Amino acid sequence: EAGVAQSPRYKIIEKRQSVAFWCNPISGHATLYWYQQILGQGPKLLIQFQNNGVVDDSQLPKDRFSAERLKGVDSTLKIQPAKLEDSAVYLCASSHGLLGYEQYFGPGTRLTVT
């Protein structure tokens, strides 16, 4: 079974630029999560999708971050405009839901904002 796929793996941008990250969850997993992990900290939930609907985006900075999950499979997370404090690893995770709530993480995208 293929794991969670993410791209790109690394991205360097200047502040005020925009950036987008892509995630493809494990096949059959209805729930998809985006987390932000700043160096030295645990992952922080940004947004959770159930199929193509948003379940929780309470910790998403909506003035600059947006996310979508069209057709209930792939998802894209966008930052516009980026700030220095957005430098972090962005992790995508998925879970099946009905067969278990365990979350499986992708390799992450390391973002550096200069």
Partner 1 sequence: QKEVEQNSGPLSVPEGAIASLNCTYSDRGSQSFFWYRQYSGKSPELIMFIYSNGDKEDGRFTAQLNKASQYVSLLIRDSQPSDSATYLCAVPGVGNSGGGADGLTFGKGTHLIIQP
Shortest Cβ 110–partner 1 spacing (Å): 9
2 touching partner 1, by CB under 8 A: no
Give residues 60-79 in contact with partner 1 (rule: CB under 8 A): none
Give residues 6-45 in contact with partner 1 (rule: CB under 8 A): 31, 33, 35, 40-45
Task: Pick the closer one to partner 1 by CB: 17 or 76.
Answer: 76
53 touching partner 1, by CB under 8 A: no
The DSSP code sequence of the chain is ----EEE-SEEEE-TT--EEEEEE--TT--EEEEEEE-TTS--EEEEEEETTEEEE-TTS-TTTEEEE-GGGS-EEEEESS--GGG-EEEEEEEE-BTTB---EE---EEEEE-
Return the amino acid letter for 37.
Q
Shortest Cβ 91–partner 1 spacing (Å): 6
Binding interface with partner 1 (CB under 8 A): 31, 33, 35, 40-45, 48, 50, 55-56, 58-59, 89, 91, 95, 97, 101-108
